[in-house]
Amino acid sequence: MKIAIFTDTYTPQINGVTKTLKKLKDYMDKNGIEYKFFVPAEGNPLETKETISFYSIRFLFYPECKIALPRYGEVKNALDDFKPDIIHIVTPFSVGLKGLKYARENNIPLVSSYHTNFVEYFKFYNLQILENICWSYFNWFHSFCEINFCPSMDTLNKLDRKGIGNLKIWDRGIESDEFSPIKYNKDLRERYVSPNVKLLLYVGRIAPEKELDVLLKAVQILSKKDIPFKLLMVGDGPLYNELKAQNIKNVIFDGYKFGSELQEIYGSSDIFVFPSSTETYGNVILEAMSSGLPVVAPFEGGIKENLKNGNNGLVFNKEDSIDMANKIEMLLKDEKLRVSLANNAREHAMSKSWNKVFQKLFKNYKSVIENFHHKINNLSA
């Protein structure tokens, strides 16, 4: 099986999509599956056996993201040589459109996946006027796909209500040996907190759509109480410099972290706090749970897939800083509860295998290819 994958976000960008694609690439390498990624270039465009990248410009509203400017002739030549059995479009923008065009012109079976609630982000940037236009575009784009994969049932139901069809779940997994309590690092922890001080952790973009105002207000509430804690904010984004410059009490901004350092930060923290209510899945929730951290988050969006209130974390009402502060305080004051939820979180995460996730994905690919060609043969008969 040969797979062509089109995405408008790729490494070295760090987000849930690029993490998932990295795991997909690893699985294909391990199993000898031929693939070719079509992606935005970080620097100069280049082509390798496995990847072709296109000249890109910075996105005005989100400078760390890029908009690729692919030329269709270049895409066509690469795909004519590669001869894919199926095309998977990860994002429906400038790169994805070229994959859609080629699939339609050459009768190649096409699937897509929906990873980000772009429309829900508009309210955070005062762009609500674009919501109906965007949904109309998504409906048009996804109408050509044999399967539209969703990471969670909440996302699937949302797209179904908007009229998008051919929906199926593409779950997420975790490498429980990479994200694990055994990654605890005493020296690393002491960079951030002194003994007997609890370490709260947030990992994600430092951006308006993550609703960080809710979290930071909760921290302000907790800071007025006699509870020793610090909040470590790991990530970057358009609000990073502004928020860091405020020198918020008990809050440490430390930028992006990668690989083993990120794993050790998870493993050396006490509680994972996450205010976003717009996640299609929330990969960081699973990373935290696998690291043995109880989670405090709203029971919204894709977070519902993993968060069980009172079992592996605590739920607060979305956009409610007071309720979030109360739930964090419960765990800061009750070590027995915190440890119980942490153990359950780890147990839950260990059931989420990437290998099983990708086995199911490739079973769906195979089914799409077979059904598509059966349909084409019937039409030409």
Q: Residue 105: which pLDDT band, with cuts at 50, 70 and 90?
A: very high
**pLDDT of 63 higher than 60:** no
Residues in the chain: 381
Mean pLDDT over residues 353-364, rounded?
97
Calculate the alpha carbon distances from 179 to 89, 140, 271, 308 in Å. 28, 39, 14, 20
Residue 179 burial (CB count, 10 A)? 23
According to CATH, the topology of domain 2-173+353-380 is Rossmann fold (3.40.50)
Using one digit for the tens of pLDDT, what is the confidence trace for 127-157?
999 999 999 999 999 999 999 999 999 999 9
Alpha carbon distance 336, 35 (integer Å):
48
Q: 6-20, 143-157, 160-174, 254-268: which has the minimum mean pLDDT? A: 6-20
Alpha carbon distance 109, 101 (integer Å):
12
**pLDDT of 269 higher than 80:** yes
| Domain locations in the chain as residue ranges | 2-173+353-380, 181-349
**pLDDT of 380 higher than 70:** no
According to CATH, the topology of domain 181-349 is Rossmann fold (3.40.50)
Tokens encoding 203: 């990992």
Residue 64: per-residue pLDDT: 57
Residue 61: per-residue pLDDT: 56
Do the two domains 2-173+353-380 and 181-349 of this chain adopt the same fold? yes
Indicate if the alpha-carbon torsion angle 252, 294, 318, 61 is positive or negative: positive
